[in-house]
Amino acid sequence: MSQLVLSHVSKSYLSKQRPDTLLDVNLYVNQGECLGVVGPSGSGKSTLLRIIAGLETVTKGEVRFNQQVMTDTAATKRNLEMVFQKQALLPHMSVADNILFGLKNKGLKRADQRLRLKWVSQLFDIDGWLTRLPGQLSKEAVQRCAIAKAMAPQSELVLFDEPFTGLSGDARSQLRLELNRIQRQLGTTFVMVTHQYQDAMAIADKMAVLSHLRANAQTNLEQVGPPLELYHNPRNSHVAKIIGEPQMCLLKGTLVDLSHNLTTIELATGGTVRAQVDTRQGEVGNLVTLGIRAEHMQLANADKLVHVTAQVVGIDNFGCESVVHLMRQDQKMVMRLAATSHLPKVSDVGLHFPSEHCYLFNHQDIAFPRTSASLIY
Amino acid sequence: MSRRVNHARWWHHLILGGMACVVLTPVLLIIWVSFGSPGAQTGEFTLNHWRLVLGLGVKESDGSWTFSPFPALTWLGNSVKISLIYASLATLIAALAAYGLLRNQRASAHSLANMLLVLQFLPSVLAIVAVYILLRKLGMFVPLLGVNTHGGLILSYLGGVAFYIWFLKEQIAYLPREYEEGARVTNASAWQIFGHIVLPLLAPAFLVTFLIAFMTSFGEFPLASILLQKQTQYTLAVGAPNYLSPQYYHWGEFAAFAVLSSMPALLLLAMIQYWLLYLIPKWKKEK
């Protein structure tokens, strides 16, 4: 039984300054599950979270929690917690007072408030910061305390609005890890909005991808599913582009041969690529878009055929890996190479696109099923 | 470059010194006069003016005691009382109204807020007769708020609260909404949000509002002179001219009274300045 259900939720602002709109969003989250909502800024993901919190009204649709309709329930009556991206703690209260303020509002007795404060400060290891004002703490410490504040009342549902924004890489993954552990331990339901897909990939059991509302689109909820499902089988190029960094490289082309599990595509910029996709729905001559991720591109050598040639524009050498920026006519491409020793020394390189790692989208931007994907993960 | 910032140039001193002279000369003159203008042709140092104003009496050469005919301390007390009550009420009402206007999403709230500003352009002195008639009628039903009562005077002052609403509205607009939304999500009531978040975070703005309201009502003359007719009810602005009757100009006592009546406002200013500079920025500076 799903705990949080959003059915046909739509939100439109009358003013032109706020283009972020939600159209017909259907989502459900089970108890103890973590839903990660990703999408570009302005796609309405924060609005979605605010609708769940009750800080924003819906134009159409329904929000249900534990089988109860909450669409018109005031934010103060919803019994959930929310972690904000900015100003997550009140600046004039110490961390302990901030946490106690939340507990007091829930109607807990004074002794229980103290116990809960002690419990949560141990859980998140923030004992040393309790007496400090938020302004005296680092960004990471503030976010950690803010999350502790949200977890302290032990609500069934906790919402996160970009909780890791502004944190450095290590602090980010550390906090992510802890949050994940605590969520499993307490069985709390999470909904987390983030524009960094890695945050959602790391924590979420289920991911939802929102995009800008396109003309004639039925909804701006592009796809919902387990994180790896979204990575390996994106439904369209929007999902494919949001999930993955550097962005997936998309190349226009035409179907030229549909052998039953090896499709041949001729690229508009020249070159021929084979992809392991099921193109029973396609026909020879169809316009398609070929997608390949930066981590799957390879340098061609004696064993690996050259599919495409490109010019090297620049190389970011990170030691553990190198990111090679390529250019083919007007098309930018990015390739990730694991080892530093094979860096191309020449300006023109031959690229090999492994057929099992190629994605293919038809002229309506719907992905052809990948026959290889199920074997990979 | 940093040197220039640290040390004022000679012409900075000149300009600031000149401005200080212009501001301080009348003040020093009044203090001087209140002590009997010592050094002037007819003057000599005396504390008599102060004794009279403070109600202590002066022993004449024939052994009799002279007292001031005016209850100066009562007037001062009246002024302080009225101004404190008015400033507190004005700040509270303005704060609640501004908060309500700003956080109300309806279009009418926006136009109402704009109307408040327009209202300020009407000179309120012109409404004195209307205010008098209204208060006389009101006094028939609520004696505490009629003509010749301090309640009535405070009520009529409160008609000018629109400026403070407008002023505070601008201040509240700068408060990040996340603070309030965060509290709403944790089940805090509107009063808790106001008391625990808006009030402490905007304390400087509220203190300044309080101070401005106190100052305006403390020296207010036109309304007070029309609405208060008993001598024991006078505020200092209404009472002070009594020292300068056509028969005799008690300049010394007038000056002593003037110096005395500036004390409460000065004290309040010093306190508020202390709060603003030392107590409130504690959490702001460290941000």
A284 alpha carbon, distance to own chain's centre: 35
Mean pLDDT of chain B: 85
What average pLDDT score do residues B49-72 get?
A: 83
Answer yes or no: do A105 and B201 touch at CB < 8 A.
Answer: no
From B58's Cα to the closest Cα of chain A, the distance in A is 54
| Domain ranges (residues) in chain A | 4-237, 247-361
Span B48-73, average pLDDT: 83
Is A37 exposed, middle or buried (CB count within 10 Å of its CB: 0-12, 13-18, 19+)?
A: buried
Gap between the Cα atoms of A108 and A104, Å rounded: 6
A70, A84, A92, A116: which to substitute to probe chain B, counting the most B Cβ within 10 Å?
Answer: A92
CB A227 within 8 A of CB A199: no
Fold that domain A4-237 belongs to in CATH: Rossmann fold (3.40.50)
The whole-number pLDDT of residue A18 equals: 56
Rounded average pLDDT per 10-residue block, chain A, 377 residues: 86 66 89 92 88 89 90 86 87 91 88 92 91 88 91 92 86 90 91 90 92 82 91 91 90 87 86 87 89 89 85 86 88 83 72 90 89 60
**What tokens were used for B282?**
């504690």
pLDDT at B287: 42
Task: Give me the pLDDT at residue A17, please.
Answer: 57
Q: Which residue of A has its CA nearest to B201?
A: A92
| A246 cis-preceded (ω within 30 degrees of 0) | yes
Say if the Cβ atoms of B201 and A92 lie within 8 Å.
Answer: yes
Contact B183 A105 (CB under 8 A): yes
The confidence score (pLDDT) of residue B1 equals 45
Of A75, A91, A136, nearest to B185 by CB-CB distance is A75
**Nearest chain A alpha carbon to B197:** A90
- Kindly identify which residue of chain A lies nearest to residue B286, measuring between CA atoms: A135
- CA B282 to chain A, closest CA, distance in angstroms equals 9
Report pLDDT for B64: 83
pLDDT of residue A340: 58
Residue B224 vs residue B276, higher pLDDT = B224
Q: How confident is the model at residue B286 (pLDDT cuts 50, 70, 90)?
A: very low
DSSP A370: B
Fold of A247-361: OB fold (Dihydrolipoamide Acetyltransferase, E2P) (2.40.50)
Q: Cβ separation of A105 and B200 shorter than 8 Å?
A: no
B141: left (phi over 0), alpha (psi -120 to 50) or beta: alpha
Considering Cα of A124, then A129, then A135, then A140, what sign does the dihedral take? negative
Least confident of A338-342, B50-54, B98-102, B121-125: A338-342
Lowest mean pLDDT among A331-340, A360-369, B132-141, B209-218: A331-340
Residue B209 pLDDT level (bands cut at 50, 70, 90) = very high
Q: Between chain A and chain B, how many beta carbons pairs sit less than 8 Å apart?
A: 73
Q: Give the integer Cα–Cα distance in Å for B93 and B95.
A: 5
Q: Answer yes or no: are the C-beta atoms of A31 and A186 closer than 8 Å.
A: no
Residue boundaries of the structural domains of chain B: 72-239+263-286
Which amino acid makes up residue A210?
A: L
- Has domain B72-239+263-286 been given CATH number 2.60.120.1090? no
Residue ranges of E strands in chain B: 58-59, 65-66
Q: Which residues of B touch A153 (CB under 8 A)?
A: 186
Q: What pTM was estimated for this model as a whole? A: 0.80
Q: How many whole angstroms from its chain centre is CA A26?
A: 17
Q: A92: nearest CA in chain B?
A: B283
Can you give the pLDDT at residue B105? 66
